[in-house]
Amino acid sequence: MNSNPKRKATIYDLAQAAGMSPSTVSAILNGTWKQRRISEETAQRVQQLAEARQYSVNRQARGLRKNRSGLIGMIIPTYEDKFFAMMSQTFDGMARERKLHPIVASTLREPALEVATVRTLISYQVDHLVITGATDPDAVHRICRHHGVAHVNVDLPGRDAPSVVSDNRWGAAKLTAALVASSRPQADAARDRIYFIGGSAGDYATECRVQGFSDTLAATLGPPSPGQIRRCGYGAVRTQEEMARLHAELGGLPRGLLFVSSVVLEGAIRFLRTLPESDLRSCAFASYDWDPFASYLRIPVHMMCQDVQGLLGAAFTLIEEHPLDKRVIEIRPKFVPAGLRRVA
């Protein structure tokens, strides 16, 4: 069948070896053999033959013929953050449920890399794109629109494409209220405050969470001062350094701390583990993103678990049914009080 060992097997080679028509072999390999009423035994025989001959479907060529590749792409900022790791894993499963083939790529929160990655995905003829946590979603939108690729923003909204985001303001307000209720007043006025740690100035999620934090404090303990909001980014190392600075400034831990993400919480824990346990009892802790391991820490942590299934479910609905809809849909996260080790 294949006298040249370097030549890849074709569908015609497989059809000749199997003793059936190329269209029958094609139906088996593209998964439509049940509709053609081909027996499972025949399908398995062809699939085993294809594997033995190292046959692989050329999806780019198929996409050019059908104007559909069956590929769906997703970009995320990082795999380090558990929220985005959960997002990519859930996306993979939901895409496969829809008979789509998922491709996920990390862009490291760099706008230039976001654009370059999206261009690459489009060159592979992806049918859809889910743009998650993009720092410049509108730049990505312009590329997708130029190439006619349906897309939706998740986590961070854009102005020109449909978006699905967490209700960040509500979530941060709920966490702040929990900190106020569970913390103890401090005798030292400088330490009798609750601080917001992490995030970036101008970042949509950060600013929404800062707003929820500020509104709740204003209604309870009084408006926060600028120094109570420490936007030190999303990195664990920078957070560790920021915590050391804050501890030195105050001469100890404050009344409460709200961390903007699970990676920021990780950085804080790197510093907190250097302190004696008696120092930790004076402070209440909260993290916007849920981390299953945080429930087992020696410090109680209130957490906000984002509804990944809800976010992506809405995203798939928009991309499939309303690709030109520019609205922003907010999905409310779930509050996980300190001490609860499972999320329902």
Short-list 339, 340, 343, 332, CA closest to 173: 332
Does residue 223 contact residue 217 with C-beta atoms inside 8 Å?
A: yes
Which domains does the chain show, CATH number per domain? 11-57 (1.10.260), 66-161 (3.40.50.2300), 168-305 (3.40.50.2300)
40-52 and 22-29 helices cross at what angle (nearest 10)? 90
- The reported pLDDT for the residue numbered 342 is 59
In which band, very low, low, confident or very high, does the pLDDT at 3 lie, cut at 50, 70 and 90? very low
- The reported pLDDT for the residue numbered 237 is 97
Chain segment 310-332, per-residue pLDDT in tens = 999 999 999 888 777 788 999 99
Tokens 């890849």 map to which residue? Answer: 8
- Which amino acid makes up residue 299? I
- The reported pLDDT for the residue numbered 26 is 78
Chain segment 50-96, per-residue pLDDT in tens = 878 766 655 444 444 445 789 999 999 998 888 999 999 999 999 99
Give me the chain's average pLDDT, please: 89
Helix (H) or strand (E) holding 141: helix 137-147
Query: In angstroms, rounded to a whole number, what is the distance separating the alpha carbons of residues 23 and 229?
Result: 64
Query: In angstroms, rounded to a whole number, what is the distance separating the alpha carbons of residues 93 and 82?
Result: 17
Does residue 181 contact residue 300 with C-beta atoms inside 8 Å?
A: no
Long-range contacts of 146-149 (CB under 8 A, 24+ apart): 147/122, 149/122
More confident residue, 50 or 279: 279
Chain segment 256-270, per-residue pLDDT in tens = 999 999 999 999 999
Tokens at residue 200, please? 């970036």
- The reported pLDDT for the residue numbered 13 is 82
Query: In angstroms, rounded to a whole number, what is the distance separating the alpha carbons of residues 253 and 8?
Result: 65
Does residue 261 contact residue 197 with C-beta atoms inside 8 Å?
A: no
In which band, very low, low, confident or very high, does the pLDDT at 6 lie, cut at 50, 70 and 90? low
Chain segment 162-211, per-residue pLDDT in tens = 999 999 999 999 999 999 999 999 999 989 999 999 999 999 999 999 99
Which residues lie across from 331 on neighbouring strands?
166
E-only strand ranges, 167-238: 194-197, 229-230
Instruction: Please report, rounded to a whole number, the percentage of residues in the chain having pLDDT higher than 90.
Output: 67
* Beta strands 284-287; 301-305: pairing state: parallel
Short-list 261, 232, 234, CA closest to 333: 261
In which band, very low, low, confident or very high, does the pLDDT at 233 lie, cut at 50, 70 and 90? very high
pLDDT at residue 290 tops 70: yes
- The reported pLDDT for the residue numbered 65 is 41
What's the burial of 139, exposed, middle or buried (CB within 10 Å: 0-12/13-18/19+)? Answer: middle
* Beta strands 101-106; 71-76: pairing state: parallel
Chain segment 114-170, per-residue pLDDT in tens = 999 999 999 988 999 999 999 999 999 999 998 889 999 999 999 989 999 999 999
What's the burial of 42, exposed, middle or buried (CB within 10 Å: 0-12/13-18/19+)? Answer: middle
Global pTM?
A: 0.77
What's the burial of 337, exposed, middle or buried (CB within 10 Å: 0-12/13-18/19+)? Answer: middle
- The reported pLDDT for the residue numbered 214 is 98
Short-list 306, 324, 320, CA closest to 72: 320
